[in-house]
Amino acid sequence: MMRQLGDVIPLPVSVRPDPSADFRIAPDVSVGAGGEAAAVADELAVLLRQATGFAVPRVAGAAPIHLVVEEDAAKSPEHYRLDVTAGGVTLRAPTAQGLFAGLQTFRQLLPAETGTAPMNIPGGRIEDEPRFPYRGAMLDLARHFYAPADLRSYIDTIAQFKINHLHLHLTDDQGWRLEIAGWPLLTEVSGGEGTGVDGAGPGFLTAREYTDLVAYAATRFVTIVPEIDLPGHVNAVQFAYPELTADGVPVQQRVDAEVGYSSLPIGKEITYTFVEDVIRTVAELTPGPYLHIGGDEAFSTTAEDYRTFMSRVLPLAGKYGKRAIGWHEMAAVDLPASAIPQYWRIEPADDGVARAAAAGHQVIMSPADRSYLDMKYDESSPLGLDWAGLVSVERSYDWDPADRLPGVPEESLLGVEAPLWSETLRSLSDVQFMAFPRLPAIAEIGWTPRAARDWRSLRRRLAAFGPRWEAQGVNFHRSAEIDWS
């Protein structure tokens, strides 16, 4: 069955079908683009080759399928316009990033099955841009490590839904997953065998692997957001370096799923030497604007110590050229102007986030009962936790970030993020099972205008993804909420 223009996730802002103007992909089809548009055009040509089996050359001049960058500072960099007529397809955007967003729309208009002839693209015009600039996914590498190939695969899949940030939770009580020059035991000891939950593991990213991953993500217009969780969630640090405990006595290695029992010693100077080395190193390896410093569940740090620590550490992000993101607990302290609290709580509570928003801080919304991809779908889910409740696909969609917290309106939101913690996960296939189809629902919340969102429409559009994910080898949960096609 031919796709309808607009059968796309996330749903575009404006869709004007013109059924008299379908474009038929002929064997001599080519893709035309030059300059900044060339890389995205090359990718489009590859997708068309796979779908059609035709040669689909990419040419510099005019062609039936044409991509153009038209600079326009007034538009979102992710804006694009897709025109499909009987004579051809034109994709325009103010940046290559916008073209890439348009490419994700275009590829969903191709049939899921490859080599399906004749192949028509539905006629009409789509004009589109995001509601929020930040649409994120988070993956926990500390409780279970995922190798670069798995991470690249996940990036490929999430980018199809216009997710544009991947937050990597690189450190926790169990493991430390990024090589830090000068502190080799972090990864030699706490990235070694048995450092995942219940002894899974080993693994860490070398600085080179991390840099390569960041560069790969950039080709998908995904910004990597590295997280170093401080001052709690640090047992792996203290197991590797006993001088970073309060009394200098070595701690036991721990790979259970408890939280809140570890803390860096707030009164020891070596803590700040360590933290500054780590922040400087991570900042130097990361071209993106953000550095996540954790700050959550520091139950073994007193409120006063937490303030002392954060007041000293938060400015270090700025010192090395980054904006600090932290879990919303950090809003209890006076934040540097550019700092971004990430809200994860189930119930609205006075955590200082509304105060921070009133003071002009941007906020990322990740409420656990809606956006946590590690929550079970229902009682029968073989993977996942349930402390924030069961999160069906509908529940992950049927909420709005601007309604979540009094005092944190639309204008205060940088965007939304769907975190995936790994305590119960052991493979990329497990990650995919938890993320799909809920991550596309969150992606739509972050992109599509609120008034245009509709669960019945999303259900229908998700159903069409079954064959696509099968063709791509992507695991997903065949939730009974969706009539899979």
The distance of closest approach from Cβ of residue 82 to ligand TNX in the complex, given in angstroms and rounded to an integer, is 38
Q: Is 446 within 8 Å of 130 (Cβ atoms)?
A: yes
Among residues 36, 297, 394, 470, which one is catalytic?
297
What does the block give as tokens for 434?
């938890």
Scanning residues 50 to 69, which ones bind ligand TNX (CB under 6 A)?
A: none
The distance of closest approach from Cβ of residue 112 to ligand TNX in the complex, given in angstroms and rounded to an integer, is 33
Which lies closer to ligand TNX via its Cβ, residue 130 or residue 136?
136
Which lies closer to ligand TNX via its Cβ, residue 274 or residue 421?
421
Which lies closer to ligand TNX via its Cβ, residue 103 or residue 434?
434
- Report CA dihedral (64, 65, 66, 72) to the nearest 10 degrees: 130
Q: How many angstroms separate the CA atoms of 166 and 155, rounded?
A: 8
Which lies closer to ligand TNX via its Cβ, residue 100 or residue 146?
146
Interaction of residue 436 with ligand TNX, rule CB under 6 A: no
Q: How many angstroms separate the CA atoms of 207 and 406, rounded?
A: 41
Which lies closer to ligand TNX via its Cβ, residue 29 or residue 141?
141
- Report CA dihedral (191, 195, 201, 202) to the nearest 10 degrees: 20
The distance of closest approach from Cβ of residue 128 to ligand TNX in the complex, given in angstroms and rounded to an integer, is 32
Which lies closer to ligand TNX via its Cβ, residue 161 or residue 421?
421
- Indicate the SS3 state at residue 87: coil
Which lies closer to ligand TNX via its Cβ, residue 129 or residue 172?
172
Instruction: Give the E-state strand segments of 43-164 in sequence order.
Output: 58-59, 65-69, 80-85, 88-93, 120-121, 124-128, 134-140
The distance of closest approach from Cβ of residue 393 to ligand TNX in the complex, given in angstroms and rounded to an integer, is 18
Cα torsion 50, 483, 477, 413: sign: positive
* One residue of 22, 212, 297, 481 binding ligand TNX per CB under 6 A: 297
What does the block give as tokens for 138?
């988070």
Interaction of residue 173 with ligand TNX, rule CB under 6 A: no
Give the single-character DSSP code of 90: E
Radius of gyration of the chain (CA): 23
269 classed as catalytic: no
Which lies closer to ligand TNX via its Cβ, residue 154 or residue 327?
327
Scanning residues 351 to 380, which ones bind ligand TNX (CB under 6 A)?
A: 368, 372, 374
* One residue of 296, 351, 369, 430 binding ligand TNX per CB under 6 A: 296
Helix or strand (DSSP H, E) at 43? helix 38-52
Interaction of residue 343 with ligand TNX, rule CB under 6 A: no
Q: How many angstroms separate the CA atoms of 403 and 57, rounded?
A: 48
The distance of closest approach from Cβ of residue 420 to ligand TNX in the complex, given in angstroms and rounded to an integer, is 9
Interaction of residue 421 with ligand TNX, rule CB under 6 A: yes
Q: How many angstroms separate the CA atoms of 172 and 178, rounded?
A: 11
Scanning residues 441 to 470, which ones bind ligand TNX (CB under 6 A)?
A: none
Binding residues with ligand TNX: total (CB under 6 A): 11
Binding letters toward ligand TNX, positions 382-411, x by CB under 6 A? ---x--------------------------
What does the block give as tokens for 368?
């656990």
- Report CA dihedral (88, 94, 100, 106) to the nearest 10 degrees: -30
Q: How many angstroms separate the CA atoms of 249 and 230, rounded?
A: 20
Q: How many angstroms separate the CA atoms of 293 and 284, rounded?
A: 15
347 contacts: CB under 8 Å, gap ≥ 6: none
Instruction: Give the E-state strand segments of 122-202 in sequence order.
Output: 124-128, 134-140, 165-169
Interaction of residue 344 with ligand TNX, rule CB under 6 A: yes
Q: Is 420 within 8 Å of 435 (Cβ atoms)?
A: yes
Burial class (CB in 10 A: 0-12, 13-18, 19+), 433: buried
Interaction of residue 259 with ligand TNX, rule CB under 6 A: yes
The distance of closest approach from Cβ of residue 196 to ligand TNX in the complex, given in angstroms and rounded to an integer, is 13
The distance of closest approach from Cβ of residue 175 to ligand TNX in the complex, given in angstroms and rounded to an integer, is 12
The distance of closest approach from Cβ of residue 321 to ligand TNX in the complex, given in angstroms and rounded to an integer, is 25
The distance of closest approach from Cβ of residue 404 to ligand TNX in the complex, given in angstroms and rounded to an integer, is 15
Find residue 128's DSSP bridge partners: 80
Which lies closer to ligand TNX via its Cβ, residue 326 or residue 466?
326
Give the single-character DSSP code of 434: H
236 contacts: CB under 8 Å, gap ≥ 6: 142, 171, 172, 173, 174, 175, 176, 186, 190, 195, 253
Catalytic residue numbers?
A: 297
Q: Which residues of this protein are in contact with ligand TNX, per CB under 6 A? A: 259, 296-297, 327, 344, 368, 372, 374, 385, 421, 423
